[in-house]
Amino acid sequence: MIAVVCDTNVYISAVVFGGSPLDVLRLAELGRIQLLVSQTLVSEVEGVLERKFKWERRQIRRICRPLWNVARRIEPQTDISACRDSRDNHLLALAVDGKAAVIVTGDKDLLVLHPFRDVQIITPAEFLEAEHSK
């Protein structure tokens, strides 16, 4: 099973809008991929749902808990400053320290780094296409 880091925008798109991002997360729930998360990523996702989408804490817990329960928590130790948006460096560190094969994102600041230290950086649609062709 491959280890995958999903960017905040993938989680938000999945739980708010569905589509390809949701299909990626469903692969984790089916046990076909191993999601990697850090406390920074969990806090970021839950914070965006609360601040931007005005979700209540109870609703956030109900929706996110199953995702966090199937994910493996990693607290990155590697200091990386490769991304032009410094707020995204934690995802690179998570992928490196968690030995992820892929970062799934829609963020151009990350996509331009593809590949990063042998980690593929691709969109949800590209990831699904690669998974379906296996």
Residue with more model confidence, 123 or 85:
123
State residue 89's pLDDT score. Answer: 96
Phi, psi for 74 (deg, rounded to 5): -130, 135
Q: For all residues of the chain together, what is the average pLDDT? A: 96
Instruction: Give CA 17 to chain center in angstroms.
Output: 16
pLDDT digits (tens, 9 = 90+) for 73-92: 999 999 999 999 889 999 99
Share of the chain above pLDDT 70, in %: 100
pLDDT classification of 132: cutoffs 50, 70, 90: confident
Instruction: Give CA 71 to chain center in angstroms.
Output: 10
pLDDT digits (tens, 9 = 90+) for 51-78: 999 999 999 999 999 999 999 999 999 9
* Number of folded domains that form the chain: 1
Average pLDDT over residues 81-110: 95
The pTM of the full predicted model, rounded to 2 decimals, is 0.96
85 CB-contact burial (10 Å; exposed 0-12 / middle 13-18 / buried 19+): exposed
Tokens 């400053």 — which residue?
A: 81
CATH at 35: 3.40.50.1010
Range of the domain at 110: 2-132
pLDDT digits (tens, 9 = 90+) for 11-33: 999 999 999 999 999 999 999 99
pLDDT classification of 116: cutoffs 50, 70, 90: very high
- Report the distance separating Cα 80 and Cα 56, nearest Å: 33
State residue 133's pLDDT score. Answer: 82
8 CB-contact burial (10 Å; exposed 0-12 / middle 13-18 / buried 19+): buried
HSE at residue 27, side-chain half, CA atoms within 13 A, is 23
Residue 134: pLDDT over 80: no
